Amino acid sequence: MEKYKKIGILTRDCAGINATIRAVVRSAYTFGFETIGIVRGYKGLIENDTVKLTPRSVSGIINHGGTILKTARSSRFRMADGQKEALNTLKANNIDALVVIGGNGSLSGAYTLSSKYAVPVVGIPATIDNDINGVSMSIGADTSVNVALDALDKIRDTATSLERIFVVEVMGRDCGYIGLRVALAGGCEEAILPERKFDIKKIAREIKDGSAKGKITWIIIVSEGKAKAVDIAKKINKITNLETREVVLGHIQRGGRPTAYDRMLAARYGFHAVELLTKRRTGRCVTLRDNKPSDIPLSRAIKKKDMEVNDYYKLIKLLT
C-alpha cells in the first residue's frame, strides 16, 4: 500500500481552528507527510490558492482565534465545474489527501469530494453550533459558550443593579447549543431555542407574577435562529410595561482565545485525523467515543443532529 506524501488542509472559522491546524501539521510531520494549506476554504481550492505549512510556520498560533488560512463561502463549489477545478488544484499540487476542519457546510463539501470523486478526505468537526451528527463535542463550541457567558455576566451586573429585564440574543442558526448552555450556566430565567416552542404571553405572565412578588430582574436568552431579541423585548415590554432591553452578542462568540478544552480537543482530533491517513482510512469524521478519539463515516456526520434540550431546560426553569 503506497503511503500518502502530501496532505492538504482546508478550514472554516471558529476558535480552536488554528490549534487544530498546528496539531495536524505537526502530527503529519512525525509520520513523514508534507502539508499544504488551502487558502480561503473551498474558494481557494477552486482557485488554486495554497500555502506551504511546516511545523515552524504554525508556531505561536495555538492561542489565536480565527484561521491563519482564512476562509470564504464558495457557491461555485456546489456545481460540478467548480468541483472539477478543485480536483485540478489537488492534482497540480500533488495533494494525496485532504483534512477538512469545519462545520456542516465544510464537512458536506468533504463528503462530496470523498463520495463523488474518491478523494481521500478526513473531516474534523469545528463549529460553535456543535451540531455535527454523531459528534458530542466540536472544536470551538466550548469557547463560544464561555465567551457568551463572560458577556452575560457583565450584562447581569446592570440587570441586577437596575432591576431590569434583558433579552440576550446568542448565535445558533438552527440549533440552541449555545443558548441552552449559557442560560443554565448564567443562571437565566428563560431560554428561547430552535428546538422548543415558546409562548411569549406565558413568559410575560411569569414575569408579571414574579414582579408582583418583588422579582424584577430577568434575563432571557434567545437563539438567533428562533427569534430576534429586539422583537421579544418589545413584546415583553408591551405586555408587562416593565423596562426591557435587548443585547445581540453576535460574532464575538465565534472568535477569541480558545479555551483549554478546545485546544486539547484540537490536539486529540488533529492527531487522530492524521493517524487515520496513515492507515488510509478515509471518508471519516473524527469524534470522541467514551472520551477517546474515534471516527464515524462522513455520510453520518452530515445528517441532521437531534438536539436533546429538555433536561437542561427543566433545570433552567427549576433553578429560576
Q: Which residues bind ligand F6P (CB under 6 A)?
A: 103, 127-129, 171-173, 224, 254
Helix/strand/coil for 165: strand
What are 127's three cell numbers? 463549529
- Catalytic annotation, pick one of 129, 142, 262, 295: 129
Between the CA of residue 57 and those of 18, 21, 30, 139, what are the distances in Å? Answer: 11, 10, 15, 22
Nearer to ligand F6P, 55 or 105 (CB): 105
Complex with ligand F6P: residue 103 or 283, whichever CB lies closer: 103
Q: Which is nearer to ligand F6P, 38 or 249 (CB)?
A: 249
* 129 classed as catalytic: yes
Nearest CA to 100 out of 122, 115, 81 is that of 122
Q: Which helix (H) or strand (E) segment is 3 a member of? A: none
Which residue has the CB atom at the shortest distance from ligand F6P? 173
Q: How many helices (H) and strands (E) does the chain have?
A: 11, 11
Q: Phi, psi at residue 294, to the nearest 5°?
A: -150, -170
User: Please, what is the minimum distance in Å from the beta carbon of residue 106 to ligand F6P?
Assistant: 10
Q: How far is the CB of 254 from ligand F6P (least distance, A)?
A: 5
* The residue to which cell 500500500 is assigned: 1
Residue 316 Cα distances to 77, 85, 91, 184, 235, angstroms: 42, 50, 53, 5, 22
3-class DSSP assignment, residue 2: coil
The minimum distance between CB 9 and ligand F6P, in angstroms, equals: 20
Residue 173 or 202 having the CB closest to ligand F6P = 173
CA 292 to chain centroid = 20
- The residues, ordered by sequence, that sit 6+ positions from 295 with a Cβ below 8 Å of its Cβ are 122, 272, 276, 281, 284, 285, 286, 287
Closest to 171 measured CA to CA, from 211, 231, 131, 219: 131
To the nearest whole angstrom, how small is the minimum distance from the Cβ of residue 67 to ligand F6P? Answer: 13
When the beta carbons of 15 and 188 are compared against ligand F6P, the nearer one is: 15
Nearer to ligand F6P, 15 or 113 (CB): 15
Paired sense of beta strands 292-297 and 284-289, if any? antiparallel
Which residues are known to be catalytic? 129
